[in-house]
Chain A
């Protein structure tokens, strides 16, 4: 009976909670469908898509990937330290996670600014329509995630439940997962 209860608990409480995992699945499906549509239309007009991709700033794209993954690592360490009741260490790692997020947002804004300066907008061509929609939608997620992290950082000295910390971490890692799908399809393979 104990084993059954444990199994059931394990099923209803994945790391971070059931709700955050439902959100993760829905977000991955949404972005996944966007990427599939992007590749489908890329096949219809390969020259435009290829020429547009070449104009993307690869250095910023790669740097942002490194930043987001490193930030994800710091987030995993934050939860790890929090579980060990090492609050001060957890706070340092959380601070580093937030820094990674802010740097990602800053670099993304620089990239957008460069595009706007040379007149690239949502209706330049279909590649850029997808580029703006997919990356901006992802950026909104990173912004929301950063706000959650800042909120956690402010509240960390008070009592935060492990579930809340894990749920915030899961949301932050979801931003990593989406970027890991977006980055190769937009910047590398079309």
Chain B
């Protein structure tokens, strides 16, 4: 068993539970989007092994996710 994978999974579970509890709070939308970005980062870099990919793929993927996050935050304003 890979301990890094297991730790990433535990973090994902905790973050999902946190997000769910935040859902009913007012103006928590930004935190929820922030947590979603962290979760996407954990899945891609740890589970999909993106951390070992070429810098181009890491940058392109991170850029795309951040772009979506910024647009979503802008639309939520």
Contact = CB atoms under 8 A, between A and B. Distances in A.
A32 B46 contact: no
A180 B36 CA distance: 6
A151 interface: no
B43 A173 contact: yes
Given A15-B52, A28-B64, A73-B8, A36 B1 contact: no
Nearest to A12: B54
A148 B9 CA distance: 23
Nearest to A40: B75
Contacts of A32: 64, 68
A181 B40 contact: yes
Main secondary structure of the interface of B (DSSP, over half): helix
Interface string B28-45: 110011011001100110
A15 B32 contact: no
A15 B48 contact: yes
Contact of B16 (A40, A66, A173, A181): A66
Chain A interface residue bracket vs B:
35 or more
Contacts of A80: 2, 5
Contacts of B8: 73
Chain B interface residue bracket vs A:
35 or more
B37 to A, nearest CB: 9
A189 B53 CA distance: 33
Interface in B1-38: 1-2, 5-6, 8-9, 12-13, 16, 19-20, 22-23, 28-29, 32-33, 35-36
Interface of B: 1-2, 5-6, 8-9, 12-13, 16, 19-20, 22-23, 28-29, 32-33, 35-36, 39-40, 43-44, 46-50, 52-54, 56-57, 60-61, 64-65, 68, 71-72, 75-76
Given A29-B64, A69-B16, 18 more contacts: A7-B54, A14-B57, A32-B64, A36-B71, A36-B72, A39-B72, A58-B23, A62-B16, A70-B9, A76-B2, A76-B46, A77-B5, A176-B43, A177-B44, A180-B40, A180-B43, A184-B35, A189-B33
